[in-house]
C-alpha cells in the first residue's frame, strides 16, 4: 500500500496522531488536552533510577535498530500499533521523520522510545522495555538529548501513571497548538 509521507507529517504538524482501533482500522485522533514531558526543571524521575544511571549499565543509541523498537512497542496484549501503522512508522523512519531512541545492555536491546521529529517537536508515539529500567533510562537520556539539541516540545500525547513519575503534565488543546507552532518553526536534529 502507498502512503503519502507529506500528508502524514502535515497531520502530525496540525496536532493529530495516528492510532489503530480495536478492529485495526487506522485513523487520525486528537484530544482536548495534551500530555507533555517537561524539558525544564519540572522533569523528574525516581531516586532509585539515579542509582541505575550512575552505574552506566545501559548504552544509548539513535536509530540503531528502529524495526526492533517498533516491534517492541507493538508487542503487547492490546496495542494500537497495527501492522499497517508499523509500516507507516518504518516509512517515516526511511524518510527521516521517525526515530528510535534506544538503550542497550551489552548487545541486547533493553528498551526504547519511538517518536516523530518535526522541527523542534519530538512527538513520542510509544515506549517499551525488555530489561527492567531500560525504557526509564531511555526517557532520561532522551530528555537530556532533547535539551542539548534545543527542542521546544516533547509530546507524550496521553497521560498515564508511568509518565506522571517523570513530571508529565497536561495542557489545553489551544496551548498545545500554540507551542507546536513555535516548535515547528525551529530546526532541531535528534542525532549526534
The average pLDDT across 55-81 equals: 93
Predicted confidence at residue 79, as pLDDT, reads 84
Q: How high is the mean pLDDT of the chain?
A: 93
The b/e string for 48-69 (b: 16+ C-beta within 10 A; e otherwise) is ebeebeeeebbebeeeeebeeb
pLDDT at 138 over 90: yes
pLDDT number for residue 31: 85
Query: Domain ranges in the chain?
Result: 5-184
Architecture per CATH, 5-184: 3-Layer(aba) Sandwich (3.40)
Stated pTM of the model: 0.94
Amino acid at each position: 500500500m502507498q502512503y503519502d509521507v507529506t500528508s502524514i507529517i502535515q497531520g502530525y504538524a496540525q496536532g493529530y496522531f495516528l492510532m489503530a482501533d480495536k478492529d485495526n482500522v487506522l485513523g487520525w485522533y486528537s484530544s482536548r488536552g495534551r500530555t507533555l514531558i517537561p524539558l525544564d526543571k519540572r522533569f523528574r524521575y525516581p531516586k532509585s533510577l539515579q542509582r541505575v544511571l550512575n552505574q552506566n549499565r545501559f548504552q544509548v543509541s539513535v536509530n540503531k535498530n528502529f524495526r526492533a523498537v517498533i516491534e517492541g512497542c507493538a508487542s503487547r496484549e492490546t496495542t494500537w500499533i497495527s501492522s499497517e501503522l508499523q509500516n507507516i512508522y518504518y516509512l517515516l523512519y526511511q524518510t527521516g521523520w521517525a526515530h528510535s531512541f534506544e538503550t542497550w545492555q551489552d548487545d541486547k536491546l533493553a528498551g526504547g522510545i519511538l517518536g516523530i521529529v518535526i522541527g523542534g517537536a519530538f512527538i513520542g508515539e510509544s515506549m517499551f522495555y525488555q530489561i527492567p529500567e531500560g525504557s526509564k533510562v531511555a526517557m532520561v537520556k532522551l530528555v537530556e538529548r532533547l535539551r542539548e539539541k534545543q527542542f521546544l516540545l516533547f509530546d507524550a500525547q496521553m497521560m498515564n501513571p508511568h509518565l506522571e513519575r517523570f513530571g508529565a503534565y497536561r495542557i489545553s488543546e489551544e496551548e498545545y497548538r500554540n507551542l507546536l507552532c513555535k516548535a515547528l518553526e525551529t530546526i532541531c536534529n535528534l542525532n549526534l
